[in-house]
């Protein structure tokens, strides 16, 4: 009797899992589109791989090389994420490829497989037609017109270069004035200039992080502003500390640019978690829990502490000569 109940329970669980997978598969769709099906030689168009999915779903786009085919090269690519207006829990992810061709013909854009938790999604096959520029052979051919001789006087030259002449006079007059001023000015006594050392990048970052924490933005429902300022501080720190460009870059590009830096995997993960959660808040309107907000601040501070540049102490030269015994 107990074995029959256990068997029925297992069947129920399998049926429930199957229905969940089918529902997930129905919630994810893939498509492919060309902005223009026909282009002229040398013109460009965009191939867009489009996935409609739940916001928390992750999909894997194909890794395309430099060309779609031998005669259809890829000029550039980018990724865009759009939150659907009618359903904030769904997003549209678009991988765009700018393509061109310099050979006349009809080319097939193949189907692509996109991986997801619901299985492999397949995009439709497309056709791109590349046409040559038509030449109207019915019109007559004309000789090239010869240059027309025009007289050019000294006054014409002055008129064409009046601003440069005026600038030259200003520079000469300024130089004479500066020479006379320096000649008449009494010589100043030698002064010792104190050069203040530059503030280290980690000191600036930790100060700004503390100030951000004291403002209590997320406690006042300003979660998006909180994460925007938090990521700005981290991006500025990374630029100062590792001399890399972080603004106008995605989280994936920033993490990739740090792969050769001496950073432990634990703190790479902490940085990635902070930046990824910030992206979800800013672009997908996610609402993290208070503990997540505080943990993001702790991870940011820990990352700066762990990766701060240590001061290099230069050995001081011994004063005077060595003593003879």
Read out DSSP for 288-312?
--HHHHHHHHHHHHHHHHHHPPPP-
pLDDT in tens, 52-84: 989 888 888 888 878 887 789 999 989 899 988
- pTM, entire model: 0.39
Token code pair at residue 87: 């359903």
Token code pair at residue 17: 């899992």
pLDDT in tens, 255-273: 888 888 888 889 889 899 9
pLDDT in tens, 89-142: 899 999 999 999 988 889 988 998 898 887 888 999 999 999 987 766 677 676
In angstroms, how far is CA 304 from the centroid of its own chain?
A: 21
Q: Cα separation of 212 and 191, whole Å?
A: 41
* Domains of the chain, earliest start first: 26-131 (2.60.40.10), 201-307 (no CATH)
DSSP 219: G
């Amino acid at each position: 009797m107990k074995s029959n109940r256990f068997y029925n329970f297992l069947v129920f669980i399998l049926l429930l899992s199957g229905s969940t997978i089918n529902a997930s598969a129905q919630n994810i769709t893939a498509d492919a589109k060309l902005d223009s099906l026909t282009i002229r030689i040398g013109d460009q168009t965009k191939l867009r791989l489009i996935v409609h999915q739940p916001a928390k779903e992750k999909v894997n786009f194909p890794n395309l090389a430099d060309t779609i085919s031998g005669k259809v090269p890829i000029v550039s690519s980018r990724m865009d994420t759009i939150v659907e207006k009618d359903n904030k829990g769904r997003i549209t992810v678009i991988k765009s490829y700018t393509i061109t061709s310099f050979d006349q013909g009809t080319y097939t854009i193949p189907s692509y497989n996109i991986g997801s938790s619901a299985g492999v999604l397949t995009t439709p096959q497309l056709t791109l037609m590349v046409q040559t520029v038509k030449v109207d052979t019915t019109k007559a051919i004309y000789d090239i017109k010869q240059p027309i001789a025009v007289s050019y006087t000294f006054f014409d030259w002055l008129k064409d270069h009046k601003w440069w002449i005026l600038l030259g006079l200003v520079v000469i007059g300024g130089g004479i004035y500066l020479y006379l001023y320096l000649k008449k000015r009494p010589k100043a006594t030698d002064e010792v200039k104190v050069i203040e050392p530059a503030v280290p990048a980690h000191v600036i970052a930790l100060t700004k992080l503390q100030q951000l924490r004291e403002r209590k933005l997320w406690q006042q429902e300003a979660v998006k502003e909180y994460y925007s300022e938090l990521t700005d501080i981290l991006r500025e720190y990374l630029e100062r500390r590792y001399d890399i460009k972080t603004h106008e870059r995605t989280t994936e590009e920033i993490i990739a640019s740090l792969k050769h830096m001496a950073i432990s995997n634990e703190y790479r993960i902490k940085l990635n978690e902070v930046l990824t959660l910030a992206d979800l808040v800013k672009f997908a309107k996610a609402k993290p829990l208070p503990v997540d907000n505080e943990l993001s601040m702790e991870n940011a501070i820990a990352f700066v502490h762990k990766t701060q540049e240590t001061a290099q102490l230069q050995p001081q030269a011994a004063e005077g000569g060595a003593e003879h015994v």
